[in-house]
Structure formats: structure tokens, C-alpha cells
């Protein structure tokens, strides 16, 4: 189902490529005005330009989620431009991989800073903006490793488990304010991050970024009576791989 988001404002993090780009395009195609956020300005500007050429409205906001001031400036920019926030999709994430015994602490700190702390602070800002209106939707993009574990992915997996804990708690806490909070846990998706983590995987067995975007749009199409706590999205085929 394609929701009508023509009167809504969305922020999508990690929107310069891959899953985030697909989500930003999807919400814009549904009519939302969207703030496109990521660290690389050229990438998010390209996405914003794509949205504008398709007749939508987009604002490219270079954002480093590991930097609190940069993160909070993203929400301020959306508020200054459009005066409201209806949808937040926390998609940005970084992956660092290796065995626990040899894992550099600086890599651990970076993964936590972006994947957990950044997601937490984005949720904080979103709740502050959404609560006065009494409605809003937050979608946290977790991962299959939000409930499973794989070798050499302990740091990344720990943060995605933490995102699930944040999502579950905030879903209950924000409900009286009319804010729905959900998580999407994709299996392998054909993105740069997955190719880095699992170069052994055949792209033919991976999801596409648009598959995750469609799951986001499903959540945004729900009636006011319904909520979905989490979606585990995996590759399906009528033929065995």
C-alpha cells in the first residue's frame, strides 16, 4: 500500500546511497518533504536533486551522527525549513569487523557512536519534535544481527541488539504521545556495508535496497489503530539457492 505523505515531513539518515537512498526516494515519491542526511555532501545532494527532478521537495543536510552538534543541527534544519517532523528513519550505520580478541577499541567506539548513540540521540530529537503534535513515526533500521550472531561481527552485532532494546523501550514510552516506534531487521542487502562484511556472499541471494524501502512504506501505511513492533525481512525465492 502506498501511503499519502503529502502533508508530512521526514528525516532519513544514511540517505546518500543504498537503503537510505531508496527510503528517501520512496517517502518523497509518496509526497513527503524529506531531509536527506549523511556525511558525504555530494551523495546526499545527488539524492536531493533526484527527488527534486521527480517533483518532490528535499533538503540535503551533511550530518555526522557521531558528532552531537552536527546531529542536532540536522533536526534544527528540518524545523527551520518545514516547522514539523512526522517521520524519522534511522538508517545510518557503520560496520567494523574482526575477531573480538584483536578488535581495536577505537573501532568499537566508532561503531557505538554512530549505530547506538547516534540512533538514540536522533530518537530523542524526534520525540521532542513529534510530541507536541501528538503523532509521529520512528523506524529504526536494525539488522538480522539484531537477534542473531556471526563470527567477526561482535561490535556491529552488539549495537544492533542495542538498537532493538532502544526500539522496544521507546515504543512503550512514546505511545502515550501518539508516536509509533518500529524496527526493520533486514537480512543481507546488496549494499556496500554488506559487501564489506560478507564479501563471500553472492549478490543473487541478497535483498535489494528497495525491498527495505517497501517495508518502511508498509509501516507508514498503517491505520491509526495498528502498530507493528518489528519486521524481519529476508530474501525469498521459489527456487532453492
Q: What percentage of the chain exceeds 70 in pLDDT? A: 93
239 within some domain: no
4 within some domain: no
Backbone angles phi, psi at 6, to 5 degrees: -65, -20
229 within some domain: yes
Catalytic positions, please? 156
Give me the number of domains the chain comprises. 1
Residue 50, domain CATH: 3.40.50.720
Q: Measured between alpha carbons, how far is 144 from 197 in angstroms, rounded to an integer?
A: 13
Q: Please give the pLDDT value at position 208.
A: 87
Q: Please give the pLDDT value at position 160.
A: 97
Distances (CA, A) of 14 to 53, 54, 61, 104, 152: 21, 21, 11, 24, 23
For 31, other C-beta atoms within 10 Å of its C-beta total 17
3-state class of 222 per DSSP?
coil
Q: What's the pLDDT tens digit per position in 125-181?
A: 999 999 999 999 999 999 988 999 999 999 999 999 999 999 999 999 999 999 999
Q: Measured between alpha carbons, how far is 184 from 172 in angstroms, rounded to an integer?
A: 17
What is the extent of the structural domain holding 130? 9-233
Overall average pLDDT of the 185-206 stretch: 71
Q: Please give the pLDDT value at position 189.
A: 72
Q: Please give the pLDDT value at position 194.
A: 63
| DSSP-derived pairing of the beta strands 179-186 and 9-13 | unpaired
88 within some domain: yes
Q: Which of 45, 2, 55 is nearest to 27 (CA)?
A: 2
43 within some domain: yes
For 235, other C-beta atoms within 10 Å of its C-beta total 16
238 within some domain: no
Q: What's the pLDDT tens digit per position in 199-216?
A: 776 666 778 889 999 999
Q: CB–CB of 121/72 below 8 Å?
A: yes
The per-residue b/e assignment along 38-75, b for 16 or more CB within 10 angstroms, e otherwise, is: bbeeebbebbbebbeeeebbbbbbbbbbbeeebbebbb
Q: CB–CB of 34/56 below 8 Å?
A: yes
48 within some domain: yes
DSSP class of residue 95?
-
Overall average pLDDT of the 23-37 stretch: 98
62 within some domain: yes
Amino acid at each position: 500500500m502506498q501511503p499519502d505523505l503529502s502533508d508530512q515531513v521526514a528525516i532519513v539518515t544514511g540517505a546518500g546511497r543504498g537503503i537510505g537512498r531508496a527510503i528517501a526516494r520512496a517517502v518523497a515519491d509518496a509526497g513527503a518533504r524529506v531531509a536527506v542526511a549523511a556525511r558525504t555532501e555530494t551523495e546526499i545532494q545527488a539524492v536531493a536533486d533526484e527527488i527534486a527532478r521527480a517533483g518532490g521537495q528535499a533538503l540535503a543536510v551533511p550530518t555526522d551522527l557521531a558528532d552531537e552538534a552536527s546531529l542536532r543541527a540536522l533536526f534544527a534544519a528540518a524545523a527551520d525549513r518545514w516547522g514539523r517532523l512526522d517521520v524519522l528513519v534511522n538508517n545510518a550505520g557503520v560496520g567494523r569487523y574482526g575477531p573480538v580478541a584483536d578488535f581495536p577499541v577505537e573501532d568499537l567506539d566508532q561503531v557505538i557512536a554512530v549505530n547506538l548513540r547516534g540512533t538514540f540521540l536522533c530518537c530523542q530529537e524526534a520525540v521532542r519534535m513529534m510530541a507536541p503534535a501528538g503523532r509521529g513515526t520512528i523506524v529504526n533500521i536494525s539488522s538480522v544481527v539484531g537477534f542473531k550472531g556471526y563470527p567477526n561481527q561482535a561490535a556491529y552485532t552488539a549495537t544492533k541488539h542495542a538498537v532493538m532494546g532502544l526500539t522496544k523501550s521507546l515504543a512503550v514510552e512514546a505511545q502515550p504521545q501518539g508516536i509509533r516506534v518500529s524496527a526493520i531487521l533486514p537480512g543481507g542487502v546488496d549494499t556496500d556495508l554488506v559487501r564489506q562484511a560478507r564479501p563471500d556472499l553472492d549478490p543473487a541471494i541478497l535483498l535489494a535496497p528497495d525491498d527495505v524501502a517497501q517495508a518502511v512504506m508498509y509501516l507508514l501505511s498503517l491505520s491509526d489503530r495498528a502498530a507493528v513492533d518489528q519486521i524481519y525481512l529476508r530474501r525469498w525465492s521459489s527456487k532453492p539457492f
